[in-house]
Chain A
Amino acid sequence: MRPAAWPRERAAARLLHIDPRARTLVDRNVADLPALLTSGDVIVFNDAATLPASFSVSTPRGPAELRLAGPGASSAEWSAVLFGAGDWRRRTEDRAAPASVATGDEIAFEGGLRAHVERVSSLSPRLVELRFDRAGAALWPMLYRAGRPIQYSHLVGPLSLWHVQTPFGARPWAVEMPSAGAGLGPASFAGLRARGVAVTSITHAAGLSATGDAVLDAALPLPERYAIGAPAVALIEHARARRGRIVAVGTSVVRALEGALKQGGGMLRAGLGVTDLRVGPNTRRRIVDGLLTGIHEPGGSHYELQRAFAPDALLAEAHARADALGYLGHEFGDRALVLAA
C-alpha cells in the first residue's frame, strides 16, 4: 500500500467500511461516518494532544536522537527510546545503534534542559526511564522548544507541530498523533449528535509505532497511561445498558477502554491508569464494538489489534481492496471502520 507522504486536505480521507458480520466491504468517505452509526451509539475519541517528542541530545558517550515514548507518574518522568546517527529520513531499522547509556547518566537537551537515566530496560538497552531536572510549568515550555514531531521515512519533508495535532487535542500526552480522529472536528461532532450518537473522549498516551529494534518492536505497544473521565463513563454505561454500540476512534481508545475494564474487574471506572494490555486475535472484547482506524499493514500491532474485530480472511480482503482502490496508508492516510451494521 502506498503511504500518504504528507498531510492532506482533511475532507479527502476515504473510509472502507468493513462489516465483520455481513462480511462486506464498502468504499465510502470519512464524511459518511454519521450515517454508519445509529441513535444510541457512543463514539469515543482520544483527546491527547501530540508533543514534539523527538530531541537531539548529548549523552556521556556521544550524541543521539531521543524519542519520548510516554509519560510516567509525574511530569518529570518519561520513558524514552534512543536512536543512533541519522534522522527520520532513514528507515528506523536502518539506523545505527546509539551509544549505550547507563543508570545515572546525564542527558543534555537543547536549551539547557537536562534529564537523568533512572533505569535501563531489560528489554533493550535503548529503552530508558528518564527524570528531568524540572517539572510542570518549568518543563513543558522547554520540551516544546527543544522537540520536533516524531516522524518516519515515508514522509517527504519535516513536519510542523500543527501537522500532528487532531482538532480536539488537549493534554499533550501522545508522542505520536492519535491519527484516526484527524480531520474530525466540531462539524463531525454536530453531525454525529444530530444522528443521536453520543460523542465523548478519553485521554490515552499513544506511544511510539516503531523503533527499528526488533525486540522492542515486537513488544509494542509498551505500557501506556490513560485517563477516563466521569462523563465518558456515564455515556458508555448508559449506552451499554441500552445495547448501544461503543465505537473507538483509534487503537489507543480500544486499549484504554478494554485495559481499564480489565483492571476494574469488569467495571469501567473513572480515573487514571496504566495499561499493558495487548489486543490481538485472541482478545475477547468486553466493551468496544467497533473501531475507526487507519489502513494498517499486516504484521504491526495496529493490525494485530484489528484482528480482535474481524476475521483474518476479511481483513486480508479489506487490505487488498483498499490497495486496489488506491487508499493511502499511515498516519495521514485513509481509514477503515470495522463495525457490524
Chain B
Amino acid sequence: MRIEGAAVLVTGASRGLGAALAGELGRRGARVVLVARGEEELFRRVDELRREGILAHGLRGDVADKQSVYPLLGAACALVGPIDLLVHNASELGALPLRELADTECEDLARVLETNLVGPFRLTKAAVGWMALRGRGLVLGISSDAAVVGYPRWGAYGVSKAALDHLLRTWAAELKASGVQFLSVDPGEMDTRMHEDAVPDADRAQLLQPASVAREIAGLVARSESFASGARLELGSLRKAA
C-alpha cells in the first residue's frame, strides 16, 4: 500500500516496536495516531515525532477495554481521516516472571487474550467496514514465533498470538475480494522492555533493534500487494531469502 498520505493507527505505540514503527511510517509520509495506556510515555513519543516534522497524534486508551473501541477509532478518524492501516502491536505477556501453564491463573490467561486477541478483533471489526466500502486498507498484526512453537512458559502469550494470526487469516478469507488485506508479521526477538520482562538475562547484543525492524516492516507495508492476504510473514526468513 501507499504509505505516503495514509492514515495509520498503531496500538502500543509509546515504546518498543510500536513507537519505532509509528516513527518509521510517519517519516515515510503517513499521518499517524499512536495509542497507548501510559499517558506520559505516549505524549513524550508524540512530541518527539512532531519535532521530526511528522504529523502525529496521541490517544490514551486500553485496547482491552470494550468501551474504548469506538472512542479511539472515532477520535483517530477525526484527527487523521479514515484509517487505511491498522497495526495491532499492543501486547500483554501475562504474569511475570513468565510461568508454565500449570501455574497460570485463568484470569491471567483471560487478560492476555483480551489485550492480544479480543481487543484487535473489536478494533478490526470497527475499522474494516470503511476499508471494505472503499475497497482498500491493510490490517497488520504483530505476531511472534511463540505463535508457532510451543515454548515452555510462553503459553498464554503464544496462544494469544496463534489466535491473532488465525483471526487475521480468517478475516482474509472472508473479505477475499474486498481489496482489504490482512497480514501477520513475526518480527523476531527485539531489544525491548517486553523482551526484558520476558527474558531478563538475555544477551542484548544478540537482539534486533526496534528501529531496524520497523524499517523492515514499513518496507513490507510498502509492498504489501506482493503478499497473499492472510499471510504470516517471518522477518527472519525474509531476511535470509533477500
Contact = CB atoms under 8 A, between A and B. Distances in A.
Interface string B114-145: 00000000000010111011110000000000
Interface stretch (B76-84, B181-189, B190-198, B217-225): B76-84
Q: Which of A49, A170, A231 neighbours the largest number of chain B CB atoms within 10 Å of its CB? A: A170
Given A162-B69, A186-B128, A141 B75 contact: yes
A201 B133 contact: yes
B129 A186 contact: yes
B74 A201 contact: no
A268 B57 CA distance: 33
A190 B67 CA distance: 29
Contact of B130 (A47, A141, A144): A47
Contact of A141 (B67, B69, B71, B81): B71
B70 A186 contact: no
Interface string A146-171: 00000000000000011001111111
Contacts of A140: 59, 71, 74-75, 78-79
Contact of A49 (B58, B74, B135): B74
Given A185-B132, A189-B133, A171 B71 contact: no
B77 A137 contact: no
Interface string A172-204: 100000000000011001100100000111000
Contact of A47 (B78, B126, B133): B133
Contacts of B175: 186, 190
A172 B83 CA distance: 13
Contact of B132 (A161, A169, A189, A200): A189
A45 interface: yes
A136 B133 contact: no
User: What does DSSP make chain B's interface, helix, strand, loop or mixed?
Assistant: helix
Contacts of B129: 166-169, 185-186
Contacts, number: 88
Contacts of B133: 45, 47, 168, 189, 199-201
A171 B178 contact: no
Contact of A231 (B57, B134, B177): B134
B128 A144 contact: no
Interface residues of B, number: 31
Interface in B164-223: 174-175, 177-178, 180
Contact of A168 (B61, B74, B130): B130
Q: Which of B69, B70, B180 neighbours the largest number of chain A CB atoms within 10 Å of its CB? A: B70
Interface string A123-136: 00000000000001
A145 B57 CA distance: 18
A136 B46 CA distance: 14
Interface in A31-60: 45, 47, 49, 51
A172 B130 contact: no
B111 interface: no
A171 B78 contact: yes
A186 B74 CA distance: 19
B27 interface: no
Contacts of A167: 129
B75 A171 contact: no
Contact of A170 (B67, B83, B174, B177): B83
B153 interface: no
Given A47-B133, A49-B70, A186-B129, A170 B77 contact: yes
Q: Which of B59, B73, B75 neighbours the largest number of chain A CB atoms within 10 Å of its CB? A: B75
A165 B126 contact: yes
A47 B74 contact: no
B82 A171 contact: yes
A185 B128 CA distance: 9
A190 B173 CA distance: 13
Nearest to B33: A137
Given A165-B70, A170-B83, A171-B77, A137 B132 contact: no
Nearest to B71: A144
A162 to B, nearest CB: 6
B28 interface: no
B99 interface: no
Contact of A136 (B57, B67, B74, B130): B57
Contact of B70 (A136, A161, A190): A161
Contacts of A51: 74
B82 A172 contact: no
Interface in B56-101: 57-61, 67, 69-71, 73-75, 77-79, 81-83
15 contacts: A47-B133, A75-B78, A137-B57, A144-B70, A144-B75, A168-B129, A168-B132, A169-B129, A170-B130, A171-B74, A172-B74, A172-B75, A172-B77, A200-B133, A231-B134
Interface of B: 57-61, 67, 69-71, 73-75, 77-79, 81-83, 126, 128-130, 132-135, 174-175, 177-178, 180
Given A167-B129, A171-B78, 13 more contacts: A49-B73, A136-B57, A137-B75, A141-B61, A161-B70, A168-B129, A168-B133, A169-B130, A170-B77, A171-B74, A185-B132, A190-B132, A199-B135
